[in-house]
């Protein structure tokens, strides 16, 4: 049996997933990757990490997605030491202009997806008496977000779900934390905000106390502290990773 630690990265094709996979592989982890980015498996192989791929699991609200990821880890390694996932369904617009369909979309994408991931990944860790789970949510759940009330509210609900799960499983030695991110330099944010225009980008960065967007590489390094086994005394927290925006 391989003694290397095992991590599930539920979304290895988008956002911080590829950078996080590379960071954990460099730390000696073998990986189960959901929908990895093109070329990622080959890149990780140079770090002597073993990888297993699970396709078509990007929607964690789908009842079979998280179980398929866990089944792969258990079949390949018989255990899982860490799991990280991110979810997100954005609906913008004033509350008074919203619809029941808008509410259903954000509940499914931001709460149900997080619930299903936690409900699946936590039990085997509780049984082993150790493990780390990180949910990547949004800093919009940490402060009032004008123009996106349904999104902000359901992100806050997901953060609270993480906190409750953490307290529930803490006696077993399992850690559960969340990171709420915003103002990150990745294609999705750039396209959604029009930040590919230099003047528009300057106006966006002016909203960030640190005055810039965050990179995927530095975000991955930050995430590692919650899932790489190096810090075992932090649980039940949701921390903003947004250049200081959520503190304002």
Q: What is the dihedral of CA 10, 148, 242, 132, to 10 degrees?
A: -30
Residues 158-193 pLDDT 10s: 999 999 999 999 999 999 999 999 999 988 888 878
Which domains are assigned to the chain? 6-182+215-240 (3.40.50.720)
pLDDT band at 2 (very low <50, low <70, confident <90, very high): low
* Res 90: pLDDT: 81
Helix axes 216-227, 17-26, angle to 10 degrees: 60
Model pLDDT, residue 245: 92
Looking up tokens 């990757």 gives 33
Render pLDDT for 19-57 as a digit per residue (tens, 0 to 9): 999 999 999 999 999 999 999 999 998 998 999 999 999
Query: How would DSSP label each residue in 159-183?
Result: HHHHHHHHHHHGGGTEEEEEEEE-S
Distance CA 28, CA 39 (A): 19
């Amino acid at each position: 049996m391989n003694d290397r630690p095992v991590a599930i990265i539920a979304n290895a094709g988008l956002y911080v997933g590829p950078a996080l996979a590379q960071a954990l592989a460099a730390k000696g982890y073998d990986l189960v990757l959901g929908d990895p980015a093109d070329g990622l498996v080959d890149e990780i192989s140079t770090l002597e990490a073993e990888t297993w791929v699970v396709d078509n699991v990007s929607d964690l609200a789908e009842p079979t997605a998280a179980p398929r990821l866990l089944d792969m880890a258990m079949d390949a390694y018989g255990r899982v030491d860490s799991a990280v996932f991110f979810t997100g369904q954005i609906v913008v617009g004033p509350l008074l202009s919203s619809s029941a369909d808008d509410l259903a979309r954000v509940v499914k994408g931001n709460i149900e997806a997080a619930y299903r991931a936690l409900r699946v990944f936590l039990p085997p860790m509780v049984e082993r008496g150790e493990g780390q789970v990180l949910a990547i949510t949004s800093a919009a759940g940490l402060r009032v977000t004008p123009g996106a009330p349904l999104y902000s509210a359901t992100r806050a609900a997901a953060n609270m779900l993480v906190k409750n799960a953490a307290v529930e499983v803490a006696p077993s030695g399992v850690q559960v934390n969340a990171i709420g991110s915003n103002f990150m330099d990745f294609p999705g944010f750039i396209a959604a905000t029009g930040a590919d225009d230099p003047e528009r980008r300057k106006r966006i960065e002016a909203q960030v106390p640190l005055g810039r967007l965050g990179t995927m590489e530095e975000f991955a390094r930050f995430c590692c502290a919650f899932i790489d086994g190096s810090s075992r005394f932090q649980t039940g927290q949701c921390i903003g990773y947004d250049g200081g925006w959520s503190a304002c």
